[in-house]
Structure 1
Amino acid sequence: MNNPYLPRPQRILSVTQQTAIDWTFRLESDMAPGFGQFLELSLPGLGEAPISISDFGPGWLDLTIRSVGRVTRGVFVLRPGDVVYARGPYGRGFDPKQYCGKNLLMVTGGTGLAPVKSLIRHFLAHRDDLKAFALILGFKSPADVLFAAEIEEWRRGADVILTVDRGDEQWRGQTGLVTQHIDQYAFHDGPTEAIVVGPPPMMKFSTLGLLQRGVSAEAITVSFERKMSCGLGKCGHCKIDETYVCLEGPVFNYAKARLLLD
């Protein structure tokens, strides 16, 4: 029998620096993840950490990692050719079929862009599946912007609002919180679905803004960036009431997610 707790070695193919503390590691992997799933990344002697899969393709997957703890700091000293260990993928992700034939608005804050990056790329490659496609991407400052070159490419197939909380002398783009841009967004005719991913306060006020603009709770999807541990629904670390986030999430319909209170 296979041991579900046993990680497998994954060789690092490339390392791309996004910001001073956010790097993307491309791993050689035969995993077949879904959009918005996560895996458990580990290093011997240091421990294990849940990481969202930011992109994937045949024989590879990307992890966009922020250096914030013992495991992630250990990963940041590795280079192409080195090996990390991983198990998964885990969790319930996004179902692209849910959005077909509709207008789709994605609202992300900071590293919340990483879990939906693969879904963005999917819909840009299948643009006819959507009526309208818009992205409101928020970051604290220009230095915190993830996937900057790719965002410019996304403008060819989507309406993109890239905003920072505070600009600098070189910044020529939008400023202000994502909620300000939700208030000003010109919604298209027809059914609209929204995806919101980011820090809890950003998600709270973004979903409230969408509700005030007439998007129903059932048409909003969120992803909980909540700390998981086993990923298998056994340890209870991520449990809220009777819901195991690692099994039933991290992607939830907002009609249920708004009831999951710590």
Structure 2
Amino acid sequence: MTVTNPYTPFLSKITEVIKHTEIEYTFRMAYQGDVLPGQFFEVSLPKFGEAPISVSGIGDGTVDLTIRKVGKVTNEIFENYVGDSLFLRGPYGNGFDIDNYKGKEILLVAGGTGLSPVKGIVDYFSAHPEDCQGFTLLVGFKSPKDVLFKKDFEKWEKNINVIMTVDTPEDGYCGKCGLVTQYIPEIPINHSDHAVGIVVGPPMMMKCTLTELFNVGFKEENIWISQERKMCCGIGKCGHCKIDDTYICLDGPVFNYTKGKFLKD
């Protein structure tokens, strides 16, 4: 009987690096296999450790990992560019099942880097608008210089309703300002009792967004959330992501709200 170590990573080549901000880049990694939006990989470098990173894009033989430079591991990752390699293990967790949203009116609300794990959903319905009754992306960033995926926004706006807002405008900024929650009542949802909502972002943003969704008629069972900030080892061994009897890295990070509302930490 052959025993394998579940912590053993595989080597993946960086095929492209896309700069978004001074501290946020997308690393396009070589990968063959099934993966869903909302799942994550553990990215590691010998002697520096590993970090859980959500999938922000799915291509033909590649996955995108959008990484923020905020710590020991991610600082070192930023020293590796096209042609180099990183160690990966995964994908882990359950992701967003696109089939849950086909044929529905969809409202996706994301805050800041919370757009990364749901970008694959936006990519799909932007490319296949006929697969849903309507799609609105409502996303907020701290400031114009913090906006991620700027080129993708240009593509998305052609086929779906996009509302982007910033907390702190800068000179020359002509877009929307303020919290994402203030724009929810203005969104044209024809059948909110049957529409589906997807919410990802900082905890307070998610809490306030959910309140607004309920106010306009969304049902709990038609809302999905991601607890991605709680991801840890990926295989339920370290216990850092455990809330009551739920392991976020195994049972999540994506949850229907009827389950996710009980996951309080």
TM bucket, shorter chain: over 0.9
> Partner residue of 1:130?
132
User: What CA RMSD, in Å, does the superposition of the two structures yield over aligned residues?
Assistant: 1.1
Structure 1 gap segments, 5+ residues each: none
User: What does residue range 239-254 of structure 1 map to in structure 2 within 5 Å?
Assistant: 239-254=242-257
Does 2:235 match 1:225?
Answer: no
User: Residues 150-175 of structure 1, C-alpha deviation per residue, up to 9 Å, x if partnerless?
Assistant: 11210111100011012111111111
> Partner residue of 1:23?
25
Contact 2:231-2:253 at 8 Å conserved across structures:
no
Structure 2 letter corresponding to 1:126? H
C-alpha displacement of 1:69:
0.8
Structure 2 letter corresponding to 1:246? C
> Partner residue of 2:217?
214
C-alpha displacement of 1:76:
0.5
Structure 2 letter corresponding to 1:135? L
> Partner residue of 2:202?
199
> Partner residue of 2:54?
52
User: Residues 218-242 of structure 1, C-alpha deviation per residue, up to 9 Å, x if partnerless?
Assistant: 1110011223332111221100000
Does 2:71 match 1:81?
Answer: no
What is the TM-score normalised by the length of structure 2? 0.96
User: What does residue range 132-151 of structure 1 map to in structure 2 within 5 Å?
Assistant: 132-151=134-153
Report how many residues are paired.
262
> Partner residue of 1:13?
15
2:230 is paired with a residue whose SS is coil
User: Residues 30-75 of structure 1, C-alpha deviation per residue, up to 9 Å, x if partnerless?
Assistant: 2421121001000000001100010012211110000111000000
Contact 1:31-1:89 at 8 Å conserved across structures:
no
Structure 1 letter corresponding to 2:183? H
2:64 is paired with a residue whose SS is strand
> Partner residue of 1:3?
5
> Partner residue of 1:110?
112
Structure 2 gap segments, 5+ residues each: none
What is the TM-score normalised by the length of structure 1? 0.97
Distance 1:250 1:72 in 2: 21
Distance 1:157 1:46 in 2: 42
2:51 is paired with a residue whose SS is strand
User: Residues 104-160 of structure 1, C-alpha deviation per residue, up to 9 Å, x if partnerless?
Assistant: 000000000000111111112221110011110110100000001211210111100
Range 228-237 or range 131-140, more displaced:
228-237
Which of residues 156, 159, 164 in structure 2 aligns to 1:162? 164
Distance 2:6 2:33 in 1: 14
Distance 1:200 1:189 in 2: 27
Structure 2 letter corresponding to 1:157? N
Q: Percent identity?
A: 50
